[in-house]
Structure 1
Amino acid sequence: MPSSPPSSPDAATLTPRSAATLLARCASRAAAAALHARLLRCSRAFFRSPYLANCLAAAYSRLGAAPSAVALLRAAPRPNVFTHNILLSALLGSGHLGDARSLFDGMAQRDAVTYNAMLSGYAAAALREEAFRLFCSMRERGVRPTGFTFSIVSSAVASARHGQQLHAAAVRHGLAHLDAVVSNALIDMYRRIGLLQHAARAFSCMEEPDVTSWNSIMSVYKDQVLGSTVFQCFRSMRSKGFSVDGFSVSTVLSVCSDVKDFAKGDQMLALCVKMSFLTNSIVCSAVIDFLCLSDRLPDAVQLFRGMPTWASEPCNALISGYARSGLMEEALSLFAASMQNGVVPTEFTFASVLRWSSCFGLMEQGTQIHCLICKLGFQDDVIVSTALTDMYCKLGLTRHARKIFRTVAAKDLVLWNTMLLGLLQNGRGKEALGVFRRMLKCGIQPDRITLFGALSACSLEGLVTEGMDIITLFEDRYHIMPSMEHYTCVVDMLCRAGMLREAVNFVENKLPKFSAATFSNILEACIIQGNIGMAELVAEKMVMQKSRSSLPYIVLAQTYGAR
């Protein structure tokens, strides 16, 4: 580590401008501190104006010595807006968010850099509401947002309303369509909050999309399970002269695995070999996952063993591949070997191992992995906590699952759904409904999985009125239209409550097409409850629709024979 600044002029020729140039070139804190000491020895007059103090503080902040920058600037004479901006960034870099806000409030002059620094602090601290309020205040005071401003705020947006307001502001400032960085941030924002159609619209309005734009929109279409559209985007991207990167290839390979299009996957594999992408750990993990899903586990193992270095992503993919093939011993051995080779487990590593441990009922291994998670400090990660909650629910240990669930401060939708469905799997319908109600009170936006869990809980507990109210709530407030699986839950709920006539009417009114499976469920409920009249009625309806199921014919034959 250098103890003095590089190739500096002598004391006689050292000027504030030359000193600022040297500070910008400093590559370590020791070099900046040495130059600081030399400047003080030369003349303290250098620091009578804020210029050199600002340059020195900026160097300290850039080199990770934010406390030194704060101490320097607090004693700086005649501070200006640049001094305050550097001090603000230094305070935020030191984790003093409250002090930074006090400084911000006391500043007589604020520019876009000032607001961007404070917005970055709020975004880093996950204070999303505060960040959005500050953005609104920035615009009210007439400070023009920059592209960086929109990028910061988009990462802090958590609701559809705020996302659309931010997009509208970007359009008014002429950045939504012309600035690729802003457009890419909007696409990622819409993808994160679930407004996938808005993300596609933002991409279509871009005048000059870049590689990041194409990669982002392919991820959006992948989330929508639109495999053909992802393939079309990839072809369009190459035809327009864009050079695909590892992210592009890994996204398309993941889609090939999801839709089981092994022919296109082999083409992508050939492209990876041609463009030497297999050295990329992300691409390599996507290839391993594809090979495992296409029943080529030996090829995946061979590819993994040929890697020059171990990385977490390929290890996760092969662990899942082993477990998916029923080779849980090999999966756990690879997990142990990866740590011995210096690969630090990630939250996805633990999620993969815990998922398959619970599927195979390996309670002892699951609890050992839980101990390792606590030892490595992953117990607060929401992905790991979700995997632990799911594992304990599948093992029937709901008390442990609830304990982990309660300790997570920032619960996301996946964790709420995991707890909801886990309680249902263990026959705890009332507790599941309690989780559902608390979730709505916390302002979490539910999805179709949440609706399925809530309806299943009502069915389990025989709460018909509450179940129908939940259907209406999701349609009116959350604009989530029920699908066939939800209607099946409602039918099951009505049948369990003995409301067989209502179940038939519900199916005939809600389903546009005849559903043999749904009517079969009603018919079985009629038989179990001994309602021969309703059983005959349902069986006749199924026969009139030329159902291929043998059940209605058997029921009618027995009924007519009894007569």
Structure 2
Amino acid sequence: MPRTQPSSPPVSTLSALLSGCASLDAAAALHARLLKSSRLFRPVFLANCLAAAYSRLGAASSAVALLRHAPEGNGFSWNILLGATLRSRGLLAARRVFDGMPDRDAVAYNSMMSGYVDGGHSQEAFGLVRAMLEAGVRPSGFTFSIVLSAVRGARHGVQVHAAAVRHCFAHQDFAVGNALINMYRRVGLMEHAVRVFWSMNGHDIISWNSVMSVYRDDGRSSRVFECFRLIRSHGFSVDECSLSTVLSACIDAEDLSKGDQLLAYCVKMGLLTNSLICSAVISLLCASDRLADAVWLFKGMATWDSETCNAMISGYARSGLMEQAMSLFALALQNGILPTGFTFASVLRWSSCFGLVEQGTQIHALIFKIGLEDDLIIATALVDMYCKLASLEHAKKIFSRVNFKDLVLWNTMVVGLSHNGRGKEALQVFRQMLNCNIQPDRITLSGVLSACSLEGLVKEGIEIISLFKDKYYIVPGVEHHKCVVDMLSRAGMLGEAVYFVESKLQKCIVASLSNILEASLIKRDFHMADLIAEKMIKMKTRSSLPYIVLAQSYGAKWASPTVSQS
């Protein structure tokens, strides 16, 4: 009898094997089996599965070659080819594939947009969104997640949010809701981020972590603690991001008792092996003046990484132990732990805080030697350091060399110039920033108002506040109102300054009036000084300044010579 050929596995079995491939060798073996049985392209579904496996396992070029030789393909084939081309050949080749596709669905548009965003070409990604809508292709939740990650301005973010609402994704889709929260946090609209969170129909742990980060960045530590309590009461398992965020909030709020409770929880659950949590605990211990405990924890770790080394270096520097900080910095380098931008930023920050010019310039030399001077985070830290050390020429030179400046770098330069009395230069940099279509934030407004105050530009300062409110949706806060008071006082508009304080700064009226009182004395407007001193005494202030002013004023009046009547 003739030998019967073994039957080939069904398509469903082969596709399952391809989907479960854990190595390139396994995929290549299945590829050879399919070629031998002449079943690779019958149906094309198997070729798609094999190409997807190659792409997933890091052999995108093999996926491209396979699909290029397929006799016929379908929409899935084109989408897999586009994704593989993006991974292996770059944006230009991928765009040629995209333009040559007979039909483009949301998956194709999303892949191409994601490639543009990852490559730093946000405008091209936004252009594809418009083309997608014009072609009648309905965007998906993933579309909005991609676009929101590329938004850098408040007005644009609000427009994308409105589009997400129109397509019913803003409240229903976790991924879109989380992307909206992170976008609003990034552009500085914290209240918008909070409103998005509480309007969502449901939350996952990523949503909770995102809104906790918003509250922490906004200085609302009590809300971070409340969210952490709600996470646990709702049955979510806290992760490393949750714990590191709430530990950071404990440091910001100087609530060390809560920090100790969280530390006990981390020890009980055996979480200190996680580098992100361990670095947050080290920062907490250093902030609570328990440097020895932080060192003990750090030295007891099985392995060091950049996160934990950065926390310990920052802890040493925070305590003024710059020699130990620099020694650990060097030791990390010797052990092959490459410093991150945050490591350099931490060391440079504390070098400038302690006025250590020599250490700062040595670190700058090392940065230059290893070729990291163009790193945006490091460049920003260098500019900040040189501004704090009053070496403005060095700061401006580094600033001008950075090709792609972000908002943080612009703000650092504006604020640095203002703090060094260079108001006109700070305003020039601000105008350059707007010309580059960089959307300002609250920090920008503080720096610009300080510059206007230095130069006595009251009218321009008031116009800038209106610009921020009307165009950038930034409502001035207490810190900005204090800048306005300082600006009015420096310009000699003391009556206007008092009126502004009484209408805008009721919560810190005494401190603000004290500043105006000092300005009155400097301007030698003793009549206004008497009026402000009397106001402060009626408020029962504990400051001795108004009493001293009135005592001197009354003493001068009594001591003035009188003309005797004949």
TM > 0.5: yes
Segment drifting more, 506-515 vs 384-393: 506-515
Partner residue of 1:325 out of 319, 329, 338: 319
1:340 corresponds to: 334
Cα distance in 1 for residues equivalent to 2:99 and 2:481? 54
**What secondary structure sits across from 1:233 in the alignment?**
helix
CA contact (8 A) 1:132 1:157 kept: no
**One-letter code aligned to 1:148:** F
Task: Please say if 1:439 is aligned against 2:456.
Answer: no
- The residue matched to 1:430 in structure 2 has which SS? helix
Structure 2 equivalent of residue 219 of structure 1: 213
Partner of 1:148: 142
The DSSP-based 3-state class of the residue aligned with 2:139 is coil
Q: Could you tell me which residue of structure 2 aligns to residue 360 of structure 1?
A: 354
String of CA shifts for 1:16-49, please: whole Å, max 9, x gaps.
8777666545544466556656766x47785587
Checking the alignment, whether the CA contact within 8 Å between 2:187 and 2:441 is kept in structure 1 is no
Partner of 2:462: 468
Is 1:560 the counterpart of 2:554? The answer is no
Per mean C-alpha deviation after superposition, the further-off stretch among 108-117 and 283-292 is: 108-117
Whichever residue aligns with residue 480 of structure 1, its letter is I
Query: 1:557 offset after TM fit, Å?
Result: 2.8
Tell me how far apart the structure 2 counterparts of residues 473 and 521 of structure 1 sit (CA, whole Å): 27
The amino acid of 1:212's aligned partner reads: I
Report the alpha carbon displacement of residue 163 of structure 1 after superposing the two structures with TM: 3.5
Tell me the amino acid that sits aligned with residue 215 of structure 1.
Answer: N
Residue 56 of structure 1: how far off its partner (Å): 4.1
1:208 is displaced (CA, Å) by: 3.8
**Contact 2:530–2:550 (CA under 8 A) maintained in structure 1:** no
Match of 1:194 in 2: 188
* CA–CA distance in structure 1, aligned partners of residues 483 and 195 of structure 2: 34
How far off its partner does 1:264 sit? 1.2
Which residues of 2 match residues 148-547 of structure 1 at below 5 A?
Answer: 148-508=142-502, 510-512=504-506, 515-547=509-541
Amino acid corresponding to residue 356 of structure 1 in structure 2: W
Report the counterpart of residue 116 of structure 1 in structure 2.
110
Please name the residue that 1:3 is paired with: none
Query: How far apart are residue 252 of structure 1 and its match?
Result: 1.4
Which stretch of structure 1 is more off in the superposition, 58-67 or 528-537? Answer: 528-537
Partner Cα distance (1:71, 1:395) in 2: 57
CA contact (8 A) 2:449 2:484 kept: yes
SS at match of 1:378: coil
Q: Secondary structure at the match of 1:295?
A: coil
Q: How does 1:68-147 map to 2 (within 5 A)?
A: 68-147=62-141
Distance (whole Å) between structure 2 residues aligned to residue 113 and residue 513 of structure 1: 53
What is the SS of the residue equivalent to 2:513?
helix
Aligned 8 A contact 1:536 1:555 in 2: no
Decide whether the 8 Å contact of 2:155 with 2:472 is kept in 1: no
Give the secondary-structure state (helix, strand or coil) at the position aligned to 1:438: helix
Alignment of 1:47-66 (within 5 A): 50-51=44-45, 53-66=47-60
Q: Which residue of 1 aligns with 2:544?
A: 549
2-side partners of 1:491 and 1:363: how far apart? 34
* Match of residue 564 from structure 2: none
Distance 1:545 1:183, change over 3 A: closer
Question: Cα 1:553–1:236, aligned 2, differ >3 Å: closer, same or farther?
Answer: same
- Specify whether residues 83 and 252 from structure 1 end up closer, same or farther in structure 2 by C-alpha distance, changes over 3 A only: same
| 1:162-195 deviations in Å (ceiling 9; x for gaps) | 4344444444555444443333333333322333
Which moves more between the two structures, 167-176 or 292-301?
Answer: 167-176
Answer with 528-537 or 319-328: which moved more.
528-537
Sequence identity of aligned pairs in percent?
Answer: 63
Structure 1 gaps of 5+ residues are 1-9
Deviates more, 1:445-454 or 1:375-384: 375-384
Q: Deviations over 1:279-305 (max 9, x none)?
A: 111111111111111111111111111
Residue type of the partner of 2:314? S
Q: How many residues align?
A: 553
Distance 2:244 2:39 in 1: 58
Partner of 2:563: none
For residues 168 and 540 of structure 1, do their structure 2 counterparts lie closer, same or farther at Cα, with a shift above 3 Å needed? closer
SS at match of 1:446: coil
Q: Structure 1 486/549 Cα, relative in aligned 2: closer, same or farther at 3 Å?
A: farther
State the AA in 1 paired with 2:108: T
Give the Cα separation in 1 of the matches to 2:15 and 2:365: 51
SS at match of 2:472: coil
Distance 1:489 1:207, change over 3 A: closer
What SS does structure 2 have at the residue aligned with 1:225? coil
Letter in 2 for 1:204: W
Equivalents in 1 of 2:167, 2:488: separation in Å? 54
Look up the equivalent residue of 2:544 and give its one-letter code.
S
- The CA distance in 2 between the partners of 1:385 and 1:494, in whole Å, is 35
Shift of residue 117, structure 1, vs aligned partner: 1.0
1:158 partner amino acid: R
**1:369-393 C-alpha deviation (Å, 9 max, x unpaired):** 2233344443333221111111111
| C-alpha contact 1:199 1:217 (8 A) present in aligned 2 | yes
Superimposed CA distance per residue, residues 498-553 of structure 1 (whole angstroms, 9 cap, x where no aligned partner):
44454445445554478333333333333334444444444444445554433322
Q: Please give the alpha-carbon distance, in whole angstroms, between the structure 2 residues aligned to 1:78 and 1:522.
A: 80
- Distance between the aligned counterparts of 2:198 and 2:491, measured in 1? 50
Distance, in Å, in 1 between the alignment partners of 2:237 and 2:295 is: 29
Q: How has the CA–CA distance of structure 1 residues 11 and 172 changed in structure 2, closer, same or farther, with 3 Å as cutoff? A: farther
User: For the Cα contact (< 8 Å) 1:150–1:182, is it kept in 2?
Assistant: yes
Moved more, 317-326 or 549-558: 549-558
CA distance in 1, matches of 2:496, 2:165: 51
Q: CA deviation at 1:414?
A: 1.6
Distance 2:182 2:350 in 1: 30
